[in-house]
Homo-oligomer: A and B are copies of this chain.
């Protein structure tokens, strides 16, 4: 039996890069900005990943360097083979991993600390999601105006809505959680 052909093939970062390049040629720097700006709320990549990936994808013929420009950035463009590889990955069912949520770990054991600690942590969550909702609103604006005619905008709105709905649900959760804690610890906490 010859060499058991690795079943793995996770490498999601490779496909994240390929996907980003379907929106037009990008340099490593451009990619970093794309990941921190456009899809930052559900995906991120660091330089330490991006540049090596660009090199290997290029070696595999899935992307290729743009003809030299006089700019400092050196952009890559996705090839037909790259599009095919991306498409094949997109078609695989998504892996639904359970993320680690540090704040829940701290709340689960919050009885070991003083009661005010739980309230503080809830406040952090509230602030975080209020900020996220602000950003989502800004992005929604752009989707409705300058990007409204783009063929893929339906999908982008969809991912944005995922973020919006979870943040709203978690703000409601903060309210309920604080109420429950006030109930349990007796009266509002003064600090």
- Which residues of A, 77-117, contact B by the 8 Å Cβ criterion? 83, 86-87, 89-91, 93-114, 117
Among A12, A95, A100, the one with the most B-chain Cβ atoms within 10 Å of its Cβ is A100
B91-A151 in contact (CB<8A): no
Pick from A38-46, A50-58, A61-69, A136-144 the stretch touching chain B.
A38-46
- Pick from B41, B117, B176: contact of A90, CB below 8 A: B117
Residue A59, interface by CB 8 Å? no
A128: chain B residues at CB < 8 Å are 96
Alpha-carbon separation in the docked complex, A181 to B40 (Å): 23
B166-A100 in contact (CB<8A): no
Known: A12-B102, A90-B117. 5 other contacts (CB 8 A): A39-B104, A87-B113, A90-B112, A93-B121, A96-B103
Residue A134, interface by CB 8 Å? no
Residue A31, interface by CB 8 Å? no
B90-A109 in contact (CB<8A): yes
Alpha-carbon separation in the docked complex, A112 to B86 (Å): 8
Alpha-carbon separation in the docked complex, A42 to B16 (Å): 25
- Which residues of A, 137-170, contact B by the 8 Å Cβ criterion? 151-152, 154-159, 161-162, 165-166, 168-170
Alpha-carbon separation in the docked complex, A162 to B105 (Å): 12
- Pick from B94, B102, B106, B154: contact of A184, CB below 8 A: B154
A100-B42 in contact (CB<8A): yes
B105-A39 in contact (CB<8A): yes
Beyond A90-B110, A97-B102, A109-B22, whether A157 also contacts B180 by CB under 8 A is yes
Sampled A-B contacts (12; CB under 8 Å): A42-B104, A42-B105, A44-B98, A86-B112, A87-B113, A90-B117, A93-B121, A97-B102, A108-B156, A110-B152, A111-B151, A166-B170
| Interchain nearest-CB distance for A14 vs B (Å) | 12
